[in-house]
A and B are shown apart, each in its own frame.
Chain A
Amino acid sequence: MYGRKVKLRFLFVSTILLILILTVFLVLKSLEENVVYFQSPSEIKSLTELTNNKIRVGGMVKKNSISMNSDEVNFIITDFKNEINVTYSGAVPNLFEEGKGVVAEGVLKDRNFFSATKILAKHDENYMPPEVKAALEEN
Chain B
Amino acid sequence: MLKLPEPNKIFQITSKAPKYVLFLFVVVLSVGLVEALILSPEDYKQSDAVRIMYVHVPAAWISLGIFSSITILSISGFIFKNKNFFLISKSLAPSGFIFNIIALVTGSIWGKPTWGTWWAWDARITSMLILALFYALYLISWRIYKNKEKVFKISTFITILGIINVPIIKYSVDWWNTLHQPASINILSKSSIHSSMLYPLLIMTAAFALFSLLIFLMKYNTELIKIKNKGLDRL
Residues of A whose CB lies within 8 Å of any CB of B are 1-2, 6, 9-10, 13, 16-17, 20-21, 24, 28, 32, 35-40, 58, 92-96, 100, 103, 118-134
Contact yes or no, B42 A129, CB < 8 A: yes
Chain B residues with a Cβ under 8 A of chain A: 1, 41-46, 50, 53, 75, 78-80, 113-117, 120-123, 160-161, 163-164, 168, 176-179, 181-184, 192-194, 196-197
A14 to chain B, nearest CB (A): 9
Chain A binding surface SS class: mixed
Contacts A37-B123, A94-B114 given; indicate if A20 touches B161 (C-beta within 8 A): yes
Residues of B within 8 A of A24 (CB): 164, 168
Selected contact of B160 from candidates A6, A20, A120, CB within 8 Å: A20
User: Which one of A2, A37, A120 contacts B121 once the chains associate, using CB atoms below 8 Å?
Assistant: A37
CA distance A94 to B112 in the complex (A): 10
Structural contact, A128 and B121, CB atoms closer than 8 A: no
- Tell whether, in the assembled complex, residue A6 and residue B80 are in contact, meaning their CB atoms are under 8 Å apart: yes
With A20-B161, A129-B44 already in contact, the answer to whether A120 and B177 are too (CB < 8 A) is no
Shortest beta-carbon contacts, A-B, top 8? A93-B116, A129-B41, A133-B44, A37-B122, A128-B194, A127-B193, A130-B44, A125-B184
